Amino acid sequence: MAASINQAVRRSCKSLFLIRSHCCACTRAQHTVVSSAKITDDVVEKIEIPKRKKRDSLSILKALASTVGKDNLAPRYMYLDDPYLIPRNEREKKMFAISKSSGREAARYMINKVPDCFEQDTAVPHIPAFMPPKTSYEHKDPSEDALIERIEMRHVKNAIEVYQHIKQKGSQLTEETKLRFLEILCVFNGKEPPPSQHPEEVFFGSQELQKKPRFREDIKDATKTTWDNPVAETLFEELSNKTPAAYTYLIRGMAMYFEANKAFHLYNELKGKKIPVGKEVYDSMLAISGKYSTSSEECFKLILDLLGDMKEARVKPDVLTFNAALKSLIKFAGFLSDSKLRGAEYIDRILAEMKFLDIEPSLATWAHVLYISCFQKNSDGAKLYRIIDYLKGREMTFQDPDDLTFFSLAMKKVFFSCKDLVVAYKINKLLNTGSNRKFLGDKNQTNDYYNYFFRVLCMFETVDKIMEYYERLVPHTWLPYRNEFQFLLDTIEVEQAYRHLPKIWSDIMVNGYDFINMFTDRVFKMMASTTHPPALQHQFAMMAKHVLKARDDLIERDRRLSIDINAPLLGYMILLFLRDGQFDEAWNYFERYRSQHGKFAGLMLDNVYAEMVDNCIKQQDVQKAFVCVALMGEMSANNQREVVKKIRENFNLTESEREELHLLVGS
């Protein structure tokens, strides 16, 4: 039987092989037949059907996703696919997050107000997330069922109330219910759970939006981070059978809310009784060992003790364990600077232990190492070099919430400690390896990363290379802020690469009026500093025209906002018009300055008058030249004498005009 099947398989393999060879291009048919005949003799015998590859439900999607990269010119998927509605600057992004989430809040308000209208359940299977929140309880009398109901609905305050009623009545609860109650008390610190955030808010960075005033008492309660949980502690004391789970809940709760003394007391008790507990307890103890100790030596000794306890209890540590240990050492990073070697020693010993246990460090591990080792003032960032070389070309997996801090921190260290372009490029390459980009974190961390990367670029790179990166990142991945624009303009000024100014100016304009006011002086001064090729000169003149028009529009529409234009700036703009050959436009603004120079602060540069008179000579317009000379006298410009000399040389002045000029100059 088996033999016949084997034969059949072999036959089908042969025919398959032949079919494949027949499929080859016709021109090579002869050759193929010959070679296939050869192969069939000796190779077919050895054909092995490959083992089936294990694929999960995401394999195909992952394979497809790996074929496409990030499109830097597209906005984030979160934003709407419409040019008008895509938020362009920081303020608009914030407005997007706030407006959309407040729309959701408004809908939630309606749902909570009239839950009856949303009760129908058409979804199969049932989706609890789309059902209105329950407002009434099934069990209204204080009983064990009532307590369980409130625990399941995560109503901590009501659960506490019911528990106290049960205690007053003197009825008994089962151990299992008590444990569940203890768990929820420890997780939420005896307070109501914090309200969940909408996705837009999460991306925008939770801290920023929390700045908006919170009036509701329960939300204020939830943001408290100190351990204040007498109910949980008394409940724990009352437990007749203190199981490992009970210890785990209470210790982890205390550690989560930084109650180090009580947690260590409880841990010692647990150790004395030799109660077996899981890895999570050791992790949370390691995380607060920094809080419990007063010096780095003490802290490290504590860490060693805890790791020793783990070994004794035969609990296998993982990457989170060592991350917690390293994180607790960060507190002493400043003190470690006195004994630089010791800090390095601690790190080395922990990393060696990880290597010994064959645990691959996550990005969070390296972030903590960077925190500790590069904190010193005279740190040369040697660790950073080694870390980046180690990570080169690796695609990381997400293991620890602190993984998200690595990239922004590493780039910050490059800027502050070692100031090395090569490392910055290496980090950027690591970021663009595979799907490592997901470790960039929320908006603030992304901005941090690119801000420092860009500053390093501005320090060492040529303008063209900087602009290559700039055009790839701006505006959808990252928008430069004040300091970054300053750095960029510095670089352009040094290299005199004025051709990039129009692009940068348009990005400055996008950021709003305060940005425009901040940079107009600088940018237009740079433009007016020399003459440029005609095309560029024309672009500059158009920019000047645009700013002046925007200012006039603003004055007409709304007086609260304005673009400040002072006399030197107006002078630069007039120069730009003159150099582009727009004499009428230039004269228009010159005339405006002459009639209302009280409205423009400061004085125009002397060369504005000189160039104006030159252009008047070109136009053969004596009267306008005289107006210039008069204004020069009024504004006490220094080069009046030369200008007058030039007028006398280049115009054929009549007698009356000579007299007029004489009167103007007064000599």
Partner 1 sequence: MAAYCRSCSVIMQKVNCLGACHPFKSQSLLLHYIRRGFGTSTICRALNPVQNKNLRAGKQKVSINHDKPLTYEQTQPPNMIGVSKSWNSWNSGSLNGEREKNAAQIVFEDIFIRKFMYGTWHNLFANEVIIKRRYNQIIIAGLIEQRNHNTIYFLIGYTEELLSFLLKCPVKIEIQTVADKKDMIFRYI
Q: Is 78 in the site for partner 1 (CB under 8 A)?
A: no
Q: Is 114 in the site for partner 1 (CB under 8 A)?
A: no
Q: Is 524 in the site for partner 1 (CB under 8 A)?
A: no
Which residue lies nearer to partner 1 by CB, 125 or 213?
A: 125
Which of residues 45, 81, 116, 558 is near partner 1 by CB under 8 A? 81
Which residue lies nearer to partner 1 by CB, 39 or 110?
A: 110
DSSP state of 417: I
Q: Amino acid identity, residue 653?
A: L
At closest approach, how far in Å is the CB of 106 from partner 1? 5
Cα separation, 463 vs 488, in Å, equals: 8
- Number of CB atoms found within 10 A of residue 648's CB: 11
At closest approach, how far in Å is the CB of 63 from partner 1? 21
Contacts of 232 (CB under 8 A, 6+ apart): 182, 185, 186, 190, 250, 253
At closest approach, how far in Å is the CB of 519 from partner 1? 24
At closest approach, how far in Å is the CB of 196 from partner 1? 13
Q: Give the distance, in angstroms, between the CA of residue 463 and the centroid of all CA atoms in the same chain.
A: 25
Instruction: Enumerate the H helices of 475-566 as residue ranges.
Output: 482-495, 501-510, 513-528, 534-557
- Identify the CA nearest to 350 among candidates 316, 378, 325: 325
Q: Is 111 in the site for partner 1 (CB under 8 A)?
A: yes
Long-range contacts of 307-315 (CB under 8 A, 24+ apart): 307/353, 309/271, 309/282, 310/279, 310/282, 313/276, 313/277, 315/277, 315/278, 315/279, 315/282
At closest approach, how far in Å is the CB of 2 from partner 1? 45
Cα separation, 247 vs 251, in Å, equals: 6
Cα separation, 318 vs 141, in Å, equals: 46
Give kind and range of the element (H or E) at residue 471: helix 463-473
193: left (phi over 0), alpha (psi -120 to 50) or beta: beta
Contacts with partner 1: how many residues (CB under 8 A)?
Answer: 32
At closest approach, how far in Å is the CB of 198 from partner 1? 8
Which of residues 8, 39, 61, 80 is near partner 1 by CB under 8 A? 80
Residue span 366-405 as binding mask against partner 1, x where in contact by CB under 8 A, dash where not: ----------------------------------------
The window from 22-30, 85-93, 411-419, 486-494 that contacts partner 1 (CB under 8 A) reads: 85-93
- Identify the CA nearest to 387 among candidates 341, 357, 356, 418: 418
Q: Give the N- to C-terminal CA distance of the chain in Å, as an integer.
A: 127
User: Is the peptide bond preceding residue 87 cis, with omega within 30 degrees of 0?
Assistant: no
Which of residues 27, 67, 122, 652 is near partner 1 by CB under 8 A? 122
Angle, in degrees to the nearest 10, between helices 567-579 and 534-557: 140
Which of residues 39, 43, 110, 561 is near partner 1 by CB under 8 A? 110
Q: Is 106 in the site for partner 1 (CB under 8 A)?
A: yes
Give the chain's largest Cα–Cα span.
129
Q: Is 127 in the site for partner 1 (CB under 8 A)?
A: yes
Which residue lies nearer to partner 1 by CB, 292 or 513?
A: 513
The window from 127-135, 437-445, 478-486, 604-612 that contacts partner 1 (CB under 8 A) reads: 127-135
Which of residues 17, 24, 132, 313 is near partner 1 by CB under 8 A? 132
Which of residues 121, 345, 468, 659 is near partner 1 by CB under 8 A? 121
Cα separation, 586 vs 570, in Å, equals: 10
Which of residues 108, 419, 499, 592 is near partner 1 by CB under 8 A? 108
The window from 77-85, 179-187, 277-285, 329-337 that contacts partner 1 (CB under 8 A) reads: 77-85
Contacts of 479 (CB under 8 A, 6+ apart): 89, 90, 507, 510, 511
Q: Is 442 in the site for partner 1 (CB under 8 A)?
A: no
In the region spanning residues 86 to 105, those forming contacts with partner 1, defined by CB under 8 A, are 87, 92, 95-96, 99-104
Which residue lies nearer to partner 1 by CB, 103 or 602?
A: 103
Which residue lies nearer to partner 1 by CB, 198 or 500?
A: 198
Cα separation, 637 vs 603, in Å, equals: 9
At closest approach, how far in Å is the CB of 111 from partner 1? 5
At closest approach, how far in Å is the CB of 131 from partner 1? 8
Which residue lies nearer to partner 1 by CB, 178 or 198?
A: 198
At closest approach, how far in Å is the CB of 537 from partner 1? 33
Which residue lies nearer to partner 1 by CB, 52 or 113?
A: 113
At closest approach, how far in Å is the CB of 215 from partner 1? 20
Measured CA distances, 129 to 135, 136, 194, 206 (Å):
15, 17, 17, 22
Residue span 191-210 as binding mask against partner 1, x where in contact by CB under 8 A, dash where not: -------x-x----------
Cα separation, 564 vs 310, in Å, equals: 67
At closest approach, how far in Å is the CB of 108 from partner 1? 6
Cα separation, 455 vs 460, in Å, equals: 9
The window from 43-51, 76-84, 213-221, 357-365 that contacts partner 1 (CB under 8 A) reads: 76-84
Give the interface with partner 1 as residue ranges (CB under 8 A).
Answer: 80-82, 84-85, 87, 92, 95-96, 99-104, 106-108, 110-111, 117-118, 120-123, 127, 130-132, 198, 200
